[in-house]
Structure 1
Amino acid sequence: MPTINPFPDRYRSIKSSVTDSSPMVIDTQANPQDIHEAALQRIRASSNLLETLHCQCFKNCDVQDIPHITHALYLLTQDGCDLLQVAQQQMLCWKAPA
């Protein structure tokens, strides 16, 4: 079944990238289910980390750990959101013709 790609470029850079060369990209022509699963994997990992932190006592926590934790949560969540956006667009275009 032919598809229409809503993205002008096949490879879309993720927003969490900090370089100009965008070494991490999303293949916008990949199977939307695979993209969706990759998104869910990252969002689940982020959610699991937040759940673990919610249950922890921070009395003995090093203050330097906070930026490390928030950075990991940002990367997981942002990448997951970027992947979900691509999967959503692809699924709209992969609908069977009426």
Structure 2
Amino acid sequence: MNTHDPMPPRYHPLKSNYSDHPVLTIDTQASHGDLLDAAHQRLRAASDLLETLYCLCFKQADVKDIPNIVNALYLLTQDGCELLEVAKLQLTTSL
């Protein structure tokens, strides 16, 4: 007997949502390429931001900017990782 995991719900809420009623979701039925493109876009933006920060001199930086930068990096990497997880799940459920 062949048992498969049940299909995930169509819309997967992002963990980065701040609300109990998420408004940002991933369409689990989106094409594999679209999911990978969206993940790449977010992870590339986070990587580019980290590279910029690495090259900057922090003597001019304001301490209040650090939480803003960390929040942006969190949102980009968390969303990118979740997109990759949905893409990975698509591959495993299609086998």
TM-score by length of 1: 0.87
Name the counterpart of 1:34. Answer: 34
* Aligned residue identity for 1:91: L
1:19 equivalenced with 2:23 (yes/no): no
Cα RMSD (Å) of the superposition?
Answer: 1.6
Query: By percentage of residues, which structure has more helix?
Result: 2
User: How many residues are aligned here?
Assistant: 92
* Aligned residue identity for 2:19: T
Residue 92 of structure 1: CA displacement? Answer: 2.6
Identity of aligned residues (%): 54
Moved over 6 A (4+): none
Name the counterpart of 2:88. Answer: 88
* Aligned residue identity for 2:29: Q
Query: Where in structure 2 are there 5+ consecutive unaligned residues?
Result: none
What CA deviation, in whole Å up to 9, does each residue of 1:8-52 have, x standing for no partner? Answer: 311000110010111000000110110011001000000000000
TM-score by length of 2: 0.89
Name the counterpart of 2:57. Answer: 57
Query: Where in structure 1 are there 5+ consecutive unaligned residues?
Result: none
Give the SS at the match of 2:12: strand
Name the counterpart of 1:45. Answer: 45
